[in-house]
């Protein structure tokens, strides 16, 4: 249904495609036909299609949880031979929140890599290469400039440290990602939480994790990071939603859209932006303090990242264990 809805931002129920669908639904009534449709976003579909008697029952299908991913991967590995260092749990932790189709493609791609090398067994390296290529559009043998490698390693180590410091686990972190120059980095946390931040504490943790890469570069190198644009955009967007939509910082940041006034809107945006960047500055200072405390872990993660370009859950936990008396 998304094909019909993508140009239908105004939810025009008279659009030709929707009229045809409605006519077809009417034609098959009382004929023992059960009609199912799929859509990634029903917000752009007209209400006339979603009412009772048409597509009146909507079932939301979310991405699988970690435990569900483990079961799905077990199914796809059933007829494949894997080495002892490969398990469904390992694969699920490396790409939480990915779709069933992605899980299937990764397992099949890993099998292709093994076959290409003349191996009869899928090993951990094949899985890592498959996830890097399919999910992150990167390759394990990417060549990275030494200075850039050092900066990205520090940045991603900072994100990992913030995740760990806030009581969560890291499943997969790498300096490789498919940006325009073939590098970038990512840090995947093991998290089944698909809901927005539900408390001020959760909101602050999310912002700190976003800012941790920038903060770690500033602490270790003494320079301002110029590679944190995406992280800052996420942090600002999350805070803007909290400030002006959810009003978590007070009702004075709300706005009555029924009484639109250009001057009022401009003043309101100035007030909202001032609050957003004020909170951002305060929480960035907290992030700097946290990264200073976790510096031994950041340096440990960074050292291994520069050497092998990725870390898995067990790698990360070992580095934390080795440095737990220093934080």
What pLDDT, in 10s, does the model give residues 32-75? Answer: 888 888 888 888 788 888 888 888 888 988 889 999 999 999 99
Confidence class for position 180, pLDDT limits 50, 70, 90: very low
CATH numbers and ranges of domains, the chain: 2-50 (no CATH), 66-136 (1.10.8.60), 146-326 (1.20.58.760)
Cα separation, 305 vs 319, in Å, equals: 11
Say what the pLDDT of residue 4 is. 62
Helix, strand, coil abundance in the chain, percent, nearest 5:
60, 5, 35
Q: Are 185 and 309 in contact (CB under 8 A)?
A: no
* pLDDT over 90, % of the chain: 59
pLDDT at res. 6:
57
Q: How far apart are CA 18 and CA 15, in angstroms?
A: 6
In 10-118, which residue ranges form alpha helices assigned H by DSSP? 16-27, 47-50, 66-77, 88-94, 100-116
Instruction: List, for residues 245-275, the tens digit of each pLDDT value.
Output: 888 888 887 766 555 556 556 677 788 899 9
Spatial separation of the C-alpha atoms in residues 238 and 240, rounded to whole Å: 6
* Residue 186, pLDDT score: 94
- Any residues with CB less than 8 A from the CB of 170 and at least 6 apart, and which? 160, 163, 164, 187, 188, 189, 190, 311, 313, 316
Which of 290, 168, 163 is closest to 219 using CA atoms?
290
Total count of residues recorded for the chain: 327
Ramachandran sector of residue 247 (left: φ over 0; alpha: ψ -120 to 50; beta: rest): left
Give pLDDT, residue 13. 52
Of 63, 149, 140, 138, which is closest to residue 102 (Cα–Cα)?
63
pLDDT of residue 181: 46
pLDDT tens-digit series, residues 2-17:
766 555 555 455 567 7
Chain mean position to CA 77:
25
Least confident residue range of 46-50, 181-185, 189-193? 181-185
Element (H, E) at 127: helix 124-136
Cα distances (angstroms) measured from residue 302 to each of 34, 157, 201, 220, 237: 56, 6, 28, 11, 28
In this prediction the pTM is 0.84
pLDDT tens digits, one per residue of 219-233: 999 988 777 889 999
Residue bearing the bigger pLDDT, 139 or 302: 302
Looking at per-residue pLDDT, the higher value among 169 and 269 belongs to: 169
**101-159 pLDDT, tens digit each:** 999 999 999 999 999 999 999 999 999 999 999 999 988 877 788 999 999 999 999 99
User: Does the pLDDT of residue 20 top 90, yes or no?
Assistant: no
Q: DSSP character for 236?
A: H
195: pLDDT confidence band, cut at 50, 70 and 90? low
Average pLDDT in the 198-210 region? 93
- Where is pLDDT greater, at 117 or 183? 117
Does pLDDT of 216 surpass 80?
yes
Count other Cβ atoms within 10 Å, centred on residue 15: 16
Q: pLDDT digits over 106-121, tens only?
A: 999 999 999 999 999 9
Question: Across the chain, which distance is largest between two alpha carbons, in Å?
Answer: 73
């Amino acid at each position: 249904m998304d094909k019909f809805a993508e140009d239908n931002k105004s939810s025009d129920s008279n659009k030709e495609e929707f009229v045809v669908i409605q006519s077809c639904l009417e034609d098959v009534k009382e004929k023992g036909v059960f009609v199912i449709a799929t859509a990634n976003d029903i917000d752009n579909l007209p209400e006339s299609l979603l009412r009772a008697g048409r597509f009146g029952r909507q079932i939301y299908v979310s991405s699988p949880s970690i435990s569900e991913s483990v079961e799905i991967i077990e199914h796809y590995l059933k007829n494949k031979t894997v080495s002892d260092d490969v398990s469904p749990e390992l694969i699920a932790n490396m790409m939480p929140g990915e779709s069933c189709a992605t899980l299937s493609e990764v397992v099949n791609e890993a099998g292709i890599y093994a076959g290409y090398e003349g191996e009869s067994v899928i090993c951990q390296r094949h899985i890592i290469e498959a996830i890097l290529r399919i999910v992150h559009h990167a390759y394990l043998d990417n060549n990275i400039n030494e200075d850039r490698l050092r900066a990205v390693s520090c940045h991603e180590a900072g994100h990992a440290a913030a995740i760990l410091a806030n009581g969560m686990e890291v499943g997969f972190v790498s300096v490789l990602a498919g940006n325009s120059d073939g590098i970038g980095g990512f840090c995947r946390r093991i998290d089944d939480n698909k809901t927005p931040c539900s408390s001020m504490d959760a909101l602050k943790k999310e912002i700190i994790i976003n800012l941790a890469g920038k903060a770690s570069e500033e602490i270790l190198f003494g320079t301002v990071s110029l590679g944190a644009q995406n992280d800052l955009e996420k942090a600002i967007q999350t805070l803007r939603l909290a400030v002006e939509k959810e009003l978590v910082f007070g009702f004075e940041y709300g706005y009555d859209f029924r009484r639109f006034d250009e001057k009022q809107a401009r003043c309101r945006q100035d007030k909202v932006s001032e609050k957003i960047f004020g909170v951002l500055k305060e929480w960035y200072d907290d992030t700097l303090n946290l990264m200073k405390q976790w510096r031994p872990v950041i340096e440990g993660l960074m050292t291994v990242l520069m050497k092998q370009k990725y870390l898995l859950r067990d790698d990360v936990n070992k580095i934390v264990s080795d440095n737990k008396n220093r934080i």
